[in-house]
Structure 1
Amino acid sequence: MPSMRVHQRRDTPPSGFVKTGNAADDQPLTISLAIKSQDFATLEKKLYAVSTPGQDEYGQHLTKDEVEELVAPSDESASAVKEWLTSHGLSPETASPSGNMLRVSLSVKQANELLDADYATFQDTKSGRQTVRTLSYSVPASVQDHISFVHPTVQFPIYGSSSSQGVAKRQASNLVGRDVPASCADDFTPSCAQQFYGIPSTPIKDTSKHIGAIGVNDQYASEADLKLFMQKYRPDITSAPTLNLISVVGGVNNQSDPGVEGNFVTQWLAGTAPGAPIDYISVGDQDDLFDALVDMTNALLNQTNPPQVIDVSYALPEPFIDEPTASHICQSLAQLGARGITVVAGSGSRGVSGGQDEGQCHVFNPEFPATCPYVTTIGGTNGIPETAWNLSGGGFSIFFPIPSYQTADVAAYQKTIPSSYAGLYNTTGRGFPDISAMAQISDFYLSGELTTPQYTNGGTIISSGIIALLNDELASAGKAPLGFLNPLIYANKDAFTDVTSGDNPSCNTNGFSATTGWDAITGLGSPVYSKLRTAVGL
């Protein structure tokens, strides 16, 4: 018997879960094993080299093969893990294009023996849904240094994860003082966004470059509703919008059951960047966002020509994910960036609390994947002049350190944070968001009816559309797409309108406040398209 070492453990299940009994020995499981990449450090250096203006390699994005070669596990690591699995009579399958993730199907009894675990059934007290997890697992000492994590084990799902959970009457916007029609105060349409941010109204020319939108938790996007939206809000666009399906783990796009998030995101993407084909990335058979993100990134990395801009409007609190899983997902997002793909993530729509009950909120909860330093995170604004949206997420990562592109900005902002906040946030963590845009935007169509979104940050969608339009102009000029944006935007702060007022109160505090310069609720501010054109060399 090999010497076993505890790899991960937790003393109790997370709040909201109760153990209902041991899992049946013959219950089937599919487990994923993440193997450490042999040279992510070089991949990260390459990412910054191709993404930082002024560098010799700026815009020279890596190919699929070049990325995979850097992040593949070493032969030693891959062999050690595979030999361990086959010694238990298991047949591992490669689950990622670089080979840094394996997947095996087995029974609970086999999993308990393989991992020295004790799989049990746990029930979520709010939803009543059940899941199989273990509070501890071990791996042989000979493979521990080669493995990042095994899933599902100690990380529990969060059911009902979404950045929008329903529809309701809109919060008053107080849209005054800007050269936009008065009607924008009640209905911030794509036309309002064009005038407000200087976004061009002309459609995308290069239809070979797509925008991707992720869909999880049975969220679907209706083609019929998309056409209604374009007829109402973009009658100047005569061509029908294109909505494609990228199916991940059996994901579908059920046209008879459209969802709030799926419809809202796809309709506004089409309204902001008309002509760009939209790939709806539907992830099936998943019980939480983190599973979905792992499978989504693997699927996109496996594509030769993935969407050039990917909108991730979902976010969940970092404390609900373990660090190895978060790091693995974040490194996968870095791989996309190195290939010239821009990943845009919402900062969350639950303020600094991350959705905690006020009576139980003792620390601020940053939201993932917004905290990943390799994505561009979008906060929310409201009103004209813009102020910080009071539900916008923001803060500092628990897991990821401050990246070099924002070191000075984070240091300056933290000097303005009240001393009474000591212990509520991580002073050494990656600050987010990076920029912001209007959160509360126009109604959208749901099953043929105009509907008002609630708790949804429209700024993420507007920003994704702007990036797609800039990429289209760059392509026409014979230039490379933007890819990973952050080094560029922090070097061109004058391309954004600074938002200096507003906060996101929660946890019995005023939350973080907007101020001059970068802040942890609106970032560097909202985009000015004409100035961004100049910043990217157009």
Structure 2
Amino acid sequence: MRVAYCQGTSPPRINTTPHISFHPLLPMAWSPFLLLSLVSLAFSTPLNRRWDDFVEKHSWGATIPKGWQFHSSPSPDTLIDLRLGLKSARIDELFHHLGQTSDPDHERYGNHLSKEQVEELVAPHTDTVSMVEEWLAHHGYQGSAASPAGDWVTIRLPVKDAERMLNAEYGLYHHPASKDTVLRTLSYSLPRDLLGHVDVVSPTTYFGTFKSMRATSFLMPEVDLDPDAVPPTTCNTRITPDCLKTLYNTANYTQQATNRNSLGVAGYLNEFANRADLQTFLTRFVPARAGTTFTTVRVNGGGDDQNDPGVEANLDIQYTIGLSAPVPNTYYSTGGSPPFKPDSQTSTNTNEPYLDWLNFITSQSSIPLVFTTSYGDDEQTVPPDYANSVCNLFAQLGSRGSSVLFSSGDFGVGGGDCRTNDGQNRVQFQPAFPASCPFVTTVGGTTRTNPEVAVDFSGGGFSNYFGRPDYQSTAVTTFLNALGTTNNGLFNKTGRAYPDLAAQGTGFQVIIGGSTSSVGGTSASSPTVAGIIALLNDVRLSSGRSSLGFLNPLIYKNGGAFNDITSGSNPGCGTNGFTARTGWDPVTGLGTPDFAKLRLVV
């Protein structure tokens, strides 16, 4: 499956101080219900703040993001849901805890935080709450908490008020390739007094939607082979669960803690996992698990049309279940793009994919121990403030004991002309987001067997937003030293490097509408690794330990537990890209998983 794939800071260095304490903050003042005040006279502010003293937060300048075109101006009375991401008072403490609980050499390893502890750390300071309340009251509004911690706040208001509050000009923009139309602005600002209190506002300058990120299915031609051949004889061109179990050494493992285990697949608009197709798949390829099913959870109006099977949705759920059953699997169908109606009483498409799903997941009292997701954007198309806020939400999931995996993308070091959108129009490798977030585990692709080699579309590179985290410093420095001056000037040598791991990415046999299709892409690689991580969680859970949680510190300290991929490359941007080599590389990461070795180190 092809996927289209802040100015942030690198995660803090791990502090090994063992003593941990939590200091509860004062209760948040946000109303539990959405309130629209009909105050006609603005409240006076005690310090006579100048709410019209604006500082630009983010701007694309006069250039509309690539792939989008201006459609029309909205009615001034069009209602939108404005979402404010408030600065967390103790986010550095969250990073500190995550660093310790994910480090296998630390005494707190595996001692994940509870939902309530995470919420204490990400809650805004009372001064931030007061400041934002004051600003909203000045304009006649009161916010509604959009997250349990109060770090996200929602206000429903007319476009004309949002424009006044953000010194912005909204427009309706159309994406011809996906036929999606959204309400966005090319720039927005905040009052100077709010700087340091509000991290991001949406919808503003992030143009991504589920539709615009999704590319056409990466369907591969069928190859006429003996269907009765024993794996891995046919696995060079046709991947089945048996191929993957043989390649990655899971075939003889018997699970013991499935009642405490779980795996989640993040789906998106109009991609529905089909139950009948799953049964056909299991009957044909995993007969011992025939009858196994999954739960669908609808997020933000997501659908579940069983008459419209999705290629990617079926790929994901068939292979996570094919590898991890009987681990309970959940498919999250996230909606959020209502039909475009230029009606002043109808909210237009103000939804944004990561926030809709993440705000829902972080609010749940119980969440899956592994997540896999197969979509993304070019990093440069995501505003830095937005990318940083979303990345921090992934850190919350890791802190609670969940492993978050993302496909690395299907365009090597970059697709298209690879021109920068900073006004300089330079050719530069194009990293992907969220693949570049340091709090997720990113999975690249391989092909063939005996040996596996890097597949040429495997996304990989170096972030321009996020600095290199400590956990990969040694591995990446070793690669860069060996690379020398190759590709100089085309990538950020100090950025977070990805992918972290890899797995097969071509020839996956998927049942779609009752028929078998061959599907490829790193969208196949990520669910494959997710299924294996679920088995590793079973190893830990069955011995009374916790789930693995954030994986990266563990895997970079145990590179020998992976099958090192040393050939192949990921060309793009008019270059040969990077080449796989001994050790970590930005094509296949540390390599593909060897369950037999990994179960000894987890």
Is this a same-fold pair by TM over 0.5? Answer: yes
Between 1:412-421 and 1:257-266, the stretch displaced more is: 412-421
| 1:222-371 alignment runs, 5 A limit | 222-238=274-290, 240-286=291-337, 291-353=352-414, 355-357=415-417, 362-371=427-436
Q: Could you give the per-residue CA deviations for residues 293-346 of structure 1, whole angstroms, max 9, x where no partner exists?
A: 112122111111101100012122101101111111111111111111110111
* Residue 87 (1) aligns with residue 138 (2): yes
Amino acid at match of 1:342: S
Q: Secondary structure in 2 aligned to 1:459?
A: helix
Which SS does the other structure have where 2:429 is aligned?
A: coil
Q: TM-score, normalised by structure 2?
A: 0.84
Assess if the C-alpha contact under 8 Å between 1:220 and 1:262 holds in 2. yes
Of 464-473 and 438-447, more deviation after overlay is shown by 438-447
Q: Which residue of 1 aligns with 2:526?
A: 460
**Contact 2:209–2:353 under 8 Å retained in 1:** no
Instruction: Assess, with a 3 A threshold, how the Cα gap between structure 1 residues 493 and 273 changes in structure 2: closer, same or farther.
Output: same
2:53 counterpart of 1:4: yes
Q: Is the 8 A contact 1:123 1:131 kept in 2?
A: yes
Higher mean displacement: 280-289 or 102-111? 280-289
Counterpart residue identity of residue 505, structure 1: P
SS across alignment from 1:228: helix
Name which of structure 1's ranges 46-55 and 414-423 shifts more when overlaid on structure 2: 414-423
- The residue that corresponds to 2:32 in the other structure is none
Offset from partner CA, 1:441-464 (integer Å, 9 cap, x none):
431111111122143442211110
1:531 aligns with 2:597: yes
Task: Provide the residue aligned with 2:269 in structure 1.
Answer: 217
2:438 to 367, 373, 379: 373
Contact 1:173–1:186 (CA under 8 A) maintained in structure 2? no
Which consecutive residues of structure 2, in runs of 5 or more, have no partner in the other structure? 1-49, 339-348, 420-424
Equivalence map 1:387-426=2 (5 Å): 387-417=453-483, 419=485, 421-426=487-492
Cα deviation for residue 162 of structure 1 reads 5.2
Q: CA deviation at 1:170?
A: 4.4
What residue in structure 2 maps to residue 515 of structure 1?
581
Given that residues 161 and 316 in structure 1 are in contact (C-alpha distance below 8 angstroms), is that contact kept between their aligned partners in structure 2? no
Q: Which stretch shifts more, 112-121 or 152-161?
A: 152-161
Q: Per-residue deviation at 1:249?
A: 1.2
Helix, strand or coil at the partner of 1:54: coil
- CA 1:173–1:188: 2 relative to 1, 3 Å: farther
Where 1:225 maps in the other structure, the secondary structure is: helix
CA contact 1:504–1:513 (8 Å) conserved in 2: yes
Quick check: 2:404–2:441 contact (8 Å CA) kept in 1? yes
Q: What's the % identity of the aligned pairs?
A: 37
The answer to whether structure 1 residue 165 and structure 2 residue 219 are counterparts is no
**Which letter does structure 1 place at the counterpart of 2:60?**
R
Deviates more, 1:243-252 or 1:150-159: 150-159
Alpha-carbon shift at residue 290 of structure 1 (Å): 8.9
Which of residues 496, 499, 514 in structure 2 aligns to 1:430?
496
Cα distance in structure 2, aligned partners of 1:158 and 1:339: 27
Could you report, residue by residue, the CA deviation over 1:496-524 in whole angstroms, capped at 9, with x for unpaired residues? 11101100111110011101110001111
Please say which of residues 290-299 and 499-508 is displaced more in the overlay. 290-299
Which deviates more, 3-12 or 498-507? 3-12
Amino acid at match of 2:258: D
Deviations 1:51-81 (A, max 9, x none): 1112111111110001110111101111211
Give the Cα–Cα distance (whole angstroms) in 2 for the partners of residues 301 and 269 of structure 1: 22
- Does 12-21 or 393-402 show the bigger shift? 12-21
> Could you tell me which residue of structure 2 aligns to residue 64 of structure 1?
115
Q: Which amino acid aligns with 1:226?
A: L
Gaps of 5+ in 1: none
**Higher RCO (CA < 8 A, seq sep 6+):** 2
- SS of structure 1 residue aligned to 2:242: helix
The 5-angstrom pairing of residues 71-150 of structure 1 reads: 71-150=122-201
Deviation at 1:490, TM superposition (A): 0.7
Matched, 1:499 2:565: yes
CA–CA distance in 2 between the matches of 1:26 and 1:434?
A: 47
Change (3 A) 1:286 1:404: farther
2:524 is matched by which residue type in structure 1? Answer: G
> Equivalents in 2 of 1:163, 1:529: separation in Å?
31
CA separation in 2, counterparts of 1:204 and 1:289?
44
More helix by share: 1
Q: CA RMSD for the aligned pairs?
A: 2.3
SS in 1 for 2:128: helix
Query: Equivalent residue of 1:300, what SS?
Result: helix
TM-score, normalised to structure 1, is 0.93
- Which 10-residue stretch deviates more, 517-526 or 441-450? 441-450
Preserved contact between residue 245 and residue 282 of structure 1 (Cα < 8 Å): yes
Alignment pair present for 1:49 and 2:109: no
The alpha carbon displacement at 1:163 in A equals 6.4
Query: What amino acid sits opposite 1:2 in the alignment?
Result: W
Shift, 1:159, TM fit: 6.2
Given that residues 317 and 366 in structure 1 are in contact (C-alpha distance below 8 angstroms), is that contact kept between their aligned partners in structure 2? yes
Q: Tell me the CA shift for residue 160 of structure 1.
A: 3.5
Q: Distance in 2 between matches of 1:290 and 1:418?
A: 44
